[in-house]
A and B are shown apart, each in its own frame.
Chain A
Amino acid sequence: MQALASFLCGLIFGSGLMISGMTQPTKVLGFLDIFGRWDPTLAFVMAGALAISSVGYALARRQKRPVIAPQHFWPKRTDLNRPLVIGSVLFGIGWGLAGLCPGPALENLASLSPRVFVFVMAMIAGSTVLDLWQRHAPSAIPIENAPLANSDG
Chain B
Amino acid sequence: MGAFDPISALIGGGLIGLASALLMLLNGRIAGISGILGGALTMSAGDKIWRLSFIAGLITAPIIIGSLGHPLPEPQMPTSWLLVVSAGVLVGFGARYGGGCTSGHGVCGIARLSARSIVATGVFMVSAIAVVAIIRHGFGG
- Shortest distance from the beta carbon of A149 to any chain B beta carbon, whole Å: 6
Chain B residues with Cβ under 8 A from A16's Cβ? 11-19
Q: Interface on B for A, CB 8 Å cutoff?
A: 1-2, 4-6, 8-39, 41-44, 47, 49-51, 53-65, 70, 72-78, 81, 83-112, 114-117, 119-121, 123-133, 135-137, 139
Residues of A within 8 A of B (CB): 2-27, 29-30, 32-36, 39-42, 44-57, 59-60, 63, 65-75, 77-80, 83-98, 100-111, 113, 115-116, 118-131, 141, 143, 147-153
Contact A33 B133 (CB under 8 A): yes
Which chain B residue has the least Cβ–Cβ distance from A83? Answer: B97
Establish whether residues A102 and B127, one from each chain, have CB atoms under 8 Å apart when the complex forms: no
Are B62 and A107 neighbours in the complex by a CB distance under 8 Å? yes
Q: Bound state CA distance, A22 and B88, in angstroms?
A: 17
User: Are A14 and B123 neighbours in the complex by a CB distance under 8 Å?
Assistant: no
B55 CB, min distance to chain A CBs, angstroms: 6
The reply to whether A54 and B28 form a contact with Cβ atoms under 8 Å apart is no
Which A residues touch B21, using CB under 8 A?
A: 52-53, 55-57, 59-60
Task: Determine the chain A residues whose CB is within 8 A of the CB of B123 once the complex forms.
Answer: 84-85, 88-89, 92
Could you say which residues of chain B place their CB within 8 Å of the CB of A116? 75, 77
- Contact across chains for B96 and A71 when beta carbons are under 8 A apart: no
Bound-complex Cα distance A46 to B100 (A): 16
